[in-house]
Structure 1
């Protein structure tokens, strides 16, 4: 592999290639190369971003209550302010990543994340803490969009599902390791140790980002001029790419269902007396996800999107159904594994679909559109579900969510699954 290290490209002009970034699937001499230095470094940077997020999201609410005598509601906002900042950033992150350059925006975002992590240490009041959380979420949204775009630019089209699945394993590992590490640091040491650990993690991500070199895509001058014209003016399509809105709307509904799991799992565990099972929930989630992503990405490439998405929906519906009736720890652990096979399968599968729906120069916008709609679902879900929970209890709430997954399946069929290209693998397409 030959990788160009030049990253100073004039604004509005597409860089020129050295490595074939998105090779076609047809008639190659062998499997297109998937694991490259760019892919590996991007994987690690993405993992570190999510590790920082999960270390803090599980500890911030209690920190605000203990340190600043905040109410539970305000403490919850201190934690979720991160999501607010990320959601606002997603409105423009894809556009700026596409216009200003993926690597440039990644480095700027990683610097913002480092600054935010450093500010947790001196933050001496609740408003300051909330401001830091907003800043951190803002930087995180840009960083995640940019690094995912870089990774997707080097995944061969013929191995899109497989490569996206491998890349998603970093998020899965962070899902398991982040909360456990955060709770360990707070429980065994103190919050100062937690903040120093997140700062070191953020700095390491920035250092790796400096060494990340994005392979450049060769384009003729005429193609560059056409793309420049398309990029000239900011429009609504730069916030939400029309081609990604269908699969994004599907993931918005899925996000509401997932919000019912991550938001209320601890309260559910105390109510049902299954705290041990809840503690192992995300471990089971990560293990199931790790095992199946080694297989399902290849299946998506060979057999099409539908087989993977419908499998994920069935598993997710079963997981929510189990939670609706569970009263023993082992049942909650099984639900965790099924959630890993369900939601953990759907997100990378949807990302592969979104990436294939947009042209190469709109990768950033495509990815940010999917993540924006997903964030809306996860953010709005707890508000709606909280009302349902207060009125009917956990059993009814999780039963309703299982039914909502069935609705999501119908929506998926309507917007994507019924089309011929969703029924056949990319390896079968010329």
Structure 2
């Protein structure tokens, strides 16, 4: 079991394909708020809609994506989604009003929801079962790297070139993602029979508890990914915003080799509870940031916290499902994750516009801290009872 290979051609290909999809996602997330305000002449309160419209589409398509992955096939859905994602990315240079931008964001959200559900399901099948926690941790590191390089690249392109150049660079990244997707040799699967889709098929019930918890975590994180550039601009050090994600990534990637293996050996709790506390503290520190040093210190805390929670939650969601339902489990997890992100982007955008970023980040910290109780009630307590019953039976 210890000799089972993790770093195969297919694992690298799916990770790199996912990386470039998320690179486009995070590049646009960091720069579109400025584009909306400076180029389209919209108010700050409208910024959240750019994220929300994208994630509404992503949420709406994920349940169907899970079914299609299990009935049509992983490869077909992956390639279709990557082609669609590439086409929509190349449409950004032609946007000249806010309504068209929201429509394009909705269309790209569909492609994003399909593609990320496909790659998340495929990577879970490619990695050895005994190393799934470690494998998912490394796979999610590709998303973390995209989270770093995307905003850093986007902010620098925005500051030194034009948005047209930025959008075409994103289109180039989308093409690379498609190329890597074509290189993935997906394990042969037994397709489920195609039947009329029932409401009960749209969600994998076994993945619900952890998916609900993840929605609150993503609600809190939406305050970072949607507004950190605007917050830094308000504080007077917008150039530091790109370094926020670099610090964030350094601490995530530095911890990944340990957290993934620790998950496989000791279970999720030893990762999840400390992660929630660190994420909460990081948000509080961020809310009181007045100088770049404190601003970047909060990035380190958030990186350690949030970066440990998400891959653990995704692995838990997949592990609860039967082999034939892992596509639906992945879809359910990401659907709730996107719901939290979409609601958070809109609600926190309104809060920041009516109050301040300081108050907004305090609210996000409270929301994140509440997940300690929610995680215990929805997942941990049930797991403890199941273990006690097994021990009693033995």
Same fold (TM over 0.5): yes
Question: Does the CA-based 8 Å contact 1:309-1:349 persist in structure 2?
Answer: yes
Question: Does the CA-based 8 Å contact 2:51-2:342 persist in structure 1?
Answer: no
Task: Give TM-score scaled by structure 1 length.
Answer: 0.83
- Structure 1 pair 281–232 and aligned structure 2 pair: CA distance change class (3 A): same
* CA displacement 1:282-331 (0-9 Å, x = unmatched): 11111101111111000000011110111211211211221233333212
- Give the aligned length: 387
- Structure 1 pair 269–201 and aligned structure 2 pair: CA distance change class (3 A): closer
1:20 counterpart residue number: none
2:266 counterpart residue number: 303
- The equivalent position to 1:258 in structure 2, one of 184, 204, 221, is 221
Q: State whether structure 2 residue 147 is matched by structure 1 residue 175.
A: yes
Q: How many angstroms apart in 1 are the aligned matches of 2:225 and 2:46?
A: 18
Q: State whether structure 2 residue 112 is matched by structure 1 residue 146.
A: no
1:22 counterpart residue number: none
Q: How many angstroms apart in 2 are the aligned matches of 1:423 and 1:398?
A: 38
Question: Does the CA-based 8 Å contact 2:52-2:343 persist in structure 1?
Answer: no
Q: How many angstroms apart in 2 are the aligned matches of 1:129 and 1:400?
A: 29
Question: Does the CA-based 8 Å contact 2:88-2:104 persist in structure 1?
Answer: yes
Matches within 5 A, 1:128-277: 128-216=100-188, 228=193, 232-273=195-236, 275=238
Question: Does the CA-based 8 Å contact 2:63-2:335 persist in structure 1?
Answer: yes
Q: How many angstroms apart in 2 are the aligned matches of 1:287 and 1:421?
A: 37
Q: How many angstroms apart in 1 are the aligned matches of 2:93 and 2:287?
A: 40
Q: Higher helix share goes to which structure?
A: 2
- Structure 1 pair 180–80 and aligned structure 2 pair: CA distance change class (3 A): farther
1:101 counterpart residue number: 73
Q: Which has the higher contact order (CA 8 A, sep 6+)?
A: 2
Task: Give TM-score scaled by structure 2 length.
Answer: 0.90
Matches within 5 A, 1:3-402: 28=1, 30-74=2-46, 76-78=48-50, 80-216=52-188, 228=193, 232-273=195-236, 275=238, 278-386=241-349, 388-389=351-352, 393-402=356-365
* RMSD across aligned positions (CA): 2.5
Runs of 4+ in 1 over 6 A off after TM superposition: 421-424
* CA displacement 1:347-388 (0-9 Å, x = unmatched): 111010011011122122111111111111111124433455
Q: Once the 2 structures are TM-superposed, how far is the Cα of residue 193 of structure 1 from its aligned partner?
A: 1.6
Bigger CA radius of gyration = 1
